[in-house]
Structure 1
Amino acid sequence: MLELRHITKSYANRRRVLTDLAYTLAAGEYVAIMGESGVGKSTLLNLIAGLDTPDSGEILIDGVSMSALADDAATRLRRLKMGFVFQAFHVLPHLTLQQNVALPLLLNGHTMQRADEMLAAVGLAGRGGDFPRQLSGGEMQRVAIARALVHKPALVLADEPTGNLDPDTAHNVLMLLRDEVKSNGASAILVTHSHAAAATADRILELRMDGLHPV
């Protein structure tokens, strides 16, 4: 599903965060990545998503090299094959919940029907006409998960998705994320500082400058 080939990346101040990083994520595998602050976990997700480019190395999604794609082609690949869940939600305030969840469907030329199905799956049945301002933090994160999974992406990337949630809500969100990923047969990477969150994944890896190491 995902192959990282000798990825190196430095910040603008020339501090290197990733050095010759190599890893292969199998189809259907769900891994958690932990590591100290500043080690490059979020940077790694941005590189995988094609939102940033490595200084050297190659990232392949289903055998397709991201660096070989023009901007439009890379955008299409992200829309079709990837789903993103972020700590800050990125739910659009001027859109209803149904419209927020349906965005990936509309961008891929599909109908909005599955948006209502996904809202029901995350416990928000009948709330499609509501706006984000009417939701709690935990409910907004559930909307974000529904949006990330509505188009059945092959690869889900989650960056600290429960960092702002209370423990009970965080647990429910993580179980929901895992269940939806598994039911769709997707591969997933969860970046987290939380050992409890990491324990919901199939495997836990620690990111260090010299690579990813099993925990």
Structure 2
Amino acid sequence: MLELRKLYKSYANGHPVLSGLSYRFRAGEFVAIMGESGVGKSTLLNLIAGLDHPDAGPGTPILVDGVAMASLDDDAATKLRRERMGFIFQAFHVLPHLSLLQNVALPLLLNGMPQQRAADMLAAVGLAGREHDYPQQLSGGEMQRVAIARALVHRPALVLADEPTGNLDPDTADAILRLLQREIKASGACAIMVTHSHAAAAMADRTLILTKEGLQETTSVNALAQ
């Protein structure tokens, strides 16, 4: 589903953040990525989504369903992102001038898909009956749930989630992660979740630790908390 091949990225000041990162993610699996602050976890998600660009170099560092992201022009990358990806941002990016229902339905509208599922997804994240409210009426946790519903509504093949439970109480976070699990398994999608939460990581199929040496698998999330 997703392959990284010797991916390099440096910050604007020249400091390297990702140095030759290689890894393969399979369809139908839910992967958590943990690591110290500043190691490049959010940067990695942005690179995969084509919202940022890797350092110039030979080869094809990011392939989505066998398609090299670097080979796509802006229009083609936008189309692939719109059709095949769902992104849960830390900053939500919920559109203030649209109702909650319109925000969630936006991926369906852009992809020419029936929009009935938008109301179902709002209900799935605990916001039934709030379809005609606007983002300014919501708490941070509620906006995060809207962003999660929007990311999943069009059944993307690749879900990229940056701290998706960061503003949620433990019970709501657990319910949202179980929804994410169900959606992934039902659609055969691949989901990559960046998180600092050991409880969230424990819900994933696998947990990887991002270090300067690359992505390393761990068999015990609990051990990381000790």
Band of TM-score, shorter chain: over 0.9
Whether 1:119 aligns to 2:122 is: yes
How many Å separate the matches in 2 of 1:184 and 1:124?
A: 23
Q: TM-score, normalised by structure 1?
A: 0.95
CA deviation after TM superposition for structure 1 residue 210, in Å: 1.5
How many Å separate the matches in 1 of 2:166 and 2:186?
A: 24
Partner amino acid, structure 2, of 1:201: A
CA deviation after TM superposition for structure 1 residue 146, in Å: 1.0
Partner of 2:7: 7
Partner of 1:65: 68
Of the three residues 182, 185, 193, the one matched with 2:185 is 182
How many Å separate the matches in 2 of 1:43 and 1:87?
A: 12
CA deviation after TM superposition for structure 1 residue 98, in Å: 0.8
How many Å separate the matches in 1 of 2:151 and 2:2?
A: 18
How many Å separate the matches in 1 of 2:6 and 2:118?
A: 38
SS of aligned partner of 2:53: coil
Whether 1:207 aligns to 2:210 is: yes
Q: How does 1:102-113 map to 2 (within 5 A)?
A: 102-113=105-116
Task: Tell me if structure 1 keeps the 8 A contact 2:144–2:167.
Answer: no
Task: Tell me if structure 2 keeps the 8 A contact 1:87–1:164.
Answer: no
Partner amino acid, structure 1, of 2:49: A
Deviations 1:160-203 (A, max 9, x none): 11223333332232222222222222100000111111111000
Partner amino acid, structure 2, of 1:82: M
Partner of 2:92: 89
How many Å separate the matches in 1 of 2:89 and 2:184?
A: 15
How many Å separate the matches in 2 of 1:174 and 1:82?
A: 18
CA deviation after TM superposition for structure 1 residue 34, in Å: 0.4
Deviations 1:2-45 (A, max 9, x none): 00011011101111011111000011111000000100000000
Partner of 1:47: 47
Deviations 1:108-163 (A, max 9, x none): 12232221122222232232111122333332222111100111100000001122
- 4+ residue runs of structure 1 moved beyond 3 angstroms? none
* Higher mean displacement: 91-100 or 74-83: 91-100
* Higher mean displacement: 108-117 or 83-92: 108-117
Aligned length: 215
Q: TM-score, normalised by structure 2?
A: 0.90
CA deviation after TM superposition for structure 1 residue 81, in Å: 0.4
* Higher mean displacement: 34-43 or 161-170: 161-170
Partner of 1:38: 38
Partner of 2:173: 170
Whether 1:140 aligns to 2:143 is: yes
Partner of 1:131: 134
Instruction: Provide the aligned C-alpha RMSD in A.
Output: 1.4
